[in-house]
Amino acid sequence: MKFIHFSLTFFLVIVFIQVSFAQDSLKHCGTDEFMHSVFQNNPKAVLNQQLLENFTQQFQQTANTRQQYIIPVVFHIIHNYGIENIADAQVIDAVKILNQDFNKLNSDTSAIVNQFKPIAANCGIEFRLASLDPNGNCTNGIEHLLSGTTYSGGEDSKLNPWPNDQYLNIWVVKEIASGAAGYTYYPGSADPDKDGIIILSSYVGSIGSGQYATARALTHEIGHWINLKHTWGGTNSPGVSCGDDNVYDTPQTQGWTSCNLTGAVCNSAIENVQNYMEYAYCSCMFTAGQKARMISALNSSISGRNNLWSLSNLVATGTSNSSSPTTCIPVADFFSINKFACTGDPIELVDKSWNAKVLYRYWNVSGASTASSLSDSVISVTYDLPGIYAVSLLAGNNVGSDLKVRTALIQILSDTALYANGFSENFETGSFPTNNFIPDYTGNIDWFIKSTIGYSGNHCLALNNYFANSGISYGVLGPTFNITTIPNLLLTFHVAYAQKSADNNDRLRVMVSENCGKTWVPRYGKSGNQLATTTVHPLNFTPNISEWRMETVNISPNANSTNLRIKFDFLSDGGNNIYIDDINLGGFSSIENSFEEHALQLFPNPVTDHLILKLNLQHDIEGSIKLYDVTGRMLEVIYSGKIKKDRNISVDVSRFSSQVYFIQLENNGTKQIYRFVKQD
């Protein structure tokens, strides 16, 4: 959507400079694309539009004496504690601009072309932030909802909808998947829980992350929401052909993306380039005909808009009185700028409470030291001992207080290495996150332990990339190593990944850090079809045993590191799921070699008494098969000598305790390591 607002003072000075900016930088409206999809798939929506159009034509012929229509509004701020989590002041500024635009109080009306000044309309529509929520609780009409869907705004981002016959729902997100600045549905065409407007946070208001260049986007979308089309008709293609919007006083136009105030392509008549339903950068008016069309929609039961402004609903939503609303109790909320750090490193905590101004607060940071006052809105804390820590915030005012507790918020890492003699992990035991593996992203999608799936067992590390947000990096931190005494500086792991379509370019990297995660260096990276371990899977991907591949990472450039941390970092590009298993370093690792990857298979795994070794060699070899524990200590030589290529060997492991063990297959110095879990 392309909207730029200028005061008359600066209009002539910078108009030519801003033409390029408007065309290249600002986004379009996505309403028509969504409406076309609705009309194709929902015959009832088509019928409702026909009935609403009939009602509109009839109602416009009647006398309408009502002077003001008040619409209760709720803003749902969908965020992940980024810049999209806009402040209440920015929302209030957006509502102020709406009320100026719909009541002809905007200062730039003086710039309206003389031909259109007589029909520039005061629509008499006022928007008020709700003071009561659907349950009758006190609200300031703005709620902040934590969700990763802020990065892929769409129907799934329409969280916690309030009844659409009582409130205008406006969802604010960081990005919209379609690339639009915002979109909505025409009256009577949407499911009740999807009815409303979704819009980018940078297109809300003129302060904070907003600007006047984009502030009229919300005016435009609300025009659609009250049954206005684009001035050139029901398409998203301005400048293509002359069209009509079913409004009697808007000239036929082809639509404009630049502010040519004398533009006259259709019928040689000057066109209404300054209309809010245009894509030009100088929108500043509705026409009297557009007003009549919107008022008709607000009076129609077909539209679902006629109850909004009723006195009973204004009382129910706390919007019947234009005076300042009742002060509510704050909803406590906060976030940590750093989710993990080493002992002694500072972590900053920020109060993001909402619903009312906080007059007092108290942080509970048990286990931490702080030089800040525990009543400050931003505090810096340090922890001396490694561990996972909870933080709570009590936020209140004269009305009351609210407590927010966030468990496992902060992960403090040891500044000394956890491992010095190699490492292995197959995710068969233990929880997640742990001191070894820590998610480096918090959202609706994250790494987790997947049960029933694994390369050498029944569990692995997984990411549901099928549902993830494109462009988001999903990381998981691994353990720390003193690698100065490890002779084999190769990290190996098994991966299973599929593309959803051939153009997916998801990327997996293995990163290392020698300074507790302050900086990272890549040591491995594959993307797209190079990363894929199988063919394209358009459906949700779950691997079978043949769809895994072992990868090798050379970390010898960090051979002198006494505290090396690893990180698996996955950048989503809309592909399919990824799985990681059997991470090995040092004495427990092996390299890709002359053995086939599945030269030896172990079952059952996990095992209680007898483990079966099934050999799948290309030919007989001279070699050995040995059993090791998790520390790298050899427990038993299972076999030594000539190994037949298709032999099965039974190993009694009943005497061993429950833990992870390794089988090593060796031939002329070439080794392959296999892992199994012993259970009681």
395-450: per-residue pLDDT in tens? 999 999 999 999 878 888 877 888 887 788 888 876 777 767 887 765 667 889 99
Report whether pLDDT(21) > 70: no
Q: How far apart are CA 175 and CA 100, in angstroms?
A: 27
Eight-state DSSP code of residue 245: -
Residue 598 pLDDT class (50, 70, 90 cuts): low
259: closest CA among 27, 28, 2?
2
271: closest CA among 4, 295, 98, 257?
257
Per-residue tokens: 182: 């915002």
Confidence (pLDDT) at 14? 32
Greatest C-alpha distance within the chain = 102
**Least confident range of 136-150, 280-294, 434-448, 582-596:** 582-596
Confidence (pLDDT) at 328? 96
Which residues, 6 or more positions from 33, have their beta carbon under 8 angstroms from its beta carbon?
178, 180, 183, 236
Residue with tokens 């979308």: 221
pLDDT in tens, 216-258: 999 999 999 999 999 998 877 788 889 889 999 999 998 998 8
Q: How far apart are CA 9 and CA 257, in angstroms?
A: 22
In 285-342, where do the E strands start and end?
Answer: 334-336, 340-342
In 528-577, where do the E strands start and end?
Answer: 549-554, 564-571
Q: How far apart are CA 159 and CA 271, in angstroms?
A: 40
Which residues, 6 or more positions from 565, have their beta carbon under 8 angstroms from its beta carbon?
413, 477, 478, 479, 480, 481, 512, 513, 514, 516, 517
The interaxial angle of helices 217-225 and 88-102, nearest 10 deg, is 60
| 198 strand-pairing partners | 171, 183
Please, what sign has the CA dihedral across residues 397, 401, 402, 403? positive
Domains of the chain in start order, with CATH, are 14-236+284-316 (3.40.390.10), 334-412 (2.60.40.10), 423-588 (2.60.120.200), 600-677 (2.60.40.3080)
| Top-ranked range on mean pLDDT: pick from 188-202, 335-349, 666-680 | 188-202
3-state secondary structure of 631: coil
Strands 168-173 and 69-79, bridge-based pairing: parallel
361 contacts 333 by C-beta, under 8 angstroms: no
Per-residue tokens: 514: 């020698």
Q: Confirm whether 53 is a catalytic residue.
A: no
Our CA angle for 150, 151, 154, nearest 5°, is 65
Report whether pLDDT(16) > 50: no
Report whether pLDDT(69) > 80: yes
216 contacts 276 by C-beta, under 8 angstroms: yes
566 contacts 438 by C-beta, under 8 angstroms: no
Average pLDDT over every residue of 285-300: 96
3-state secondary structure of 579: strand
pLDDT in tens, 315-368: 999 999 877 678 999 999 999 988 778 889 999 999 999 999 999 999 999 999
Q: Please give the mean pLDDT across all residues of the chain.
A: 87
145 contacts 78 by C-beta, under 8 angstroms: yes
Run of H or E residues at 603: strand 600-603
Per annotation, catalytic residue among 221, 271, 278, 425: 221
Q: How far apart are CA 300 and CA 188, in angstroms?
A: 10
3-state secondary structure of 155: helix
| Other CB atoms within 10 A of residue 372 CB | 15
| Residue predicted with more confidence, 672 or 370 | 370
pTM: 0.77
Residue 616: alpha-carbon gap to chain centroid:
45
Report whether pLDDT(528) > 60: yes
| Residue predicted with more confidence, 249 or 65 | 249
Run of H or E residues at 582: strand 578-585
Residue 471 pLDDT class (50, 70, 90 cuts): confident
Please, what sign has the CA dihedral across residues 192, 195, 198, 204? negative
pLDDT in tens, 542-568: 999 889 999 989 998 999 999 999 999
Which residues, 6 or more positions from 230, have their beta carbon under 8 angstroms from its beta carbon?
29, 32, 236, 238, 245, 255, 277, 278, 279
